[in-house]
């Protein structure tokens, strides 16, 4: 991987760490405020960080909700096209105490290089059938 590919892959891994740690600023530093998101648990496209935060707010928050123990991201394929990049990978979402079955997801992210560095401008997740 070249330096830009490493930066993007590190951003992906850092966002998953932020999810486990419930640290939105850690995640959001890599997401452009005007992004679009196809979330694997939602039908509609989310527009911007505002739309992403609405998706986040719909996720179960109480103690009965399944708790993610770990997210394993693997098999990155990252291509750079000037100031744009397409990053693809797989991820497994592993839950604590078998509170929910492991989910396998394919992810494609479109990144753009800004003055402050690479940021995610579109993210697409789809869950693989078990």
Single pTM value for the model: 0.91
* Angle at 59 (CA atoms; ends 73, 118), nearest 5 degrees: 45
pLDDT at residue 98, rounded to an integer = 67
The CA-based dihedral angle spanning residues 100, 35, 81, 13, taken in that order and rounded to the nearest 10 degrees: -40
Counting the structural domains of the chain, the total is 1
pLDDT at residue number 79: 98
CB 127 within 8 A of CB 103: yes
pLDDT at 45: 95
In the chain (130 residues long), the average pLDDT of successive 10-residue segments reads 97 96 96 94 92 91 81 98 98 84 93 97 88
Q: What is the model's pLDDT at position 91?
A: 94
Give me the pLDDT at residue 121, please: 98
Contacts of residue 100, Cβ cutoff 8 Å, sequence gap at least 6: 66
Looking at residue 35, its pLDDT comes to 97
Domain extent, residue 17, equals 3-127
CATH number of the domain at 65, please. 3.10.450.50
Asked if 122 and 110 touch (Cβ cutoff 8 Å), the reply is yes
pLDDT at 129: 76
């Amino acid at each position: 991987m070249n330096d830009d590919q490493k930066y993007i892959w590190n951003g992906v891994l850092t966002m998953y760490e932020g999810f486990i740690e419930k640290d939105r600023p850690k995640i959001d530093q890599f997401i452009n405020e005007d992004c679009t998101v196809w979330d694997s648990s939602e039908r509609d496209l989310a527009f911007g960080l505002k739309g992403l935060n609405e998706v986040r707010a719909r996720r179960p928050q109480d103690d009965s909700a399944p708790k993610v123990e770990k997210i394993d991201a693997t098999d990155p394929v990252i291509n750079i096209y000037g100031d744009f990049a397409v990053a693809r990978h797989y991820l497994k979402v592993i839950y604590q105490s078998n509170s929910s079955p492991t989910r396998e997801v394919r992810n494609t992210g479109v990144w753009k290089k800004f003055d402050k560095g690479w940021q995610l401008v579109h993210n697409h997740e789809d869950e693989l059938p078990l």
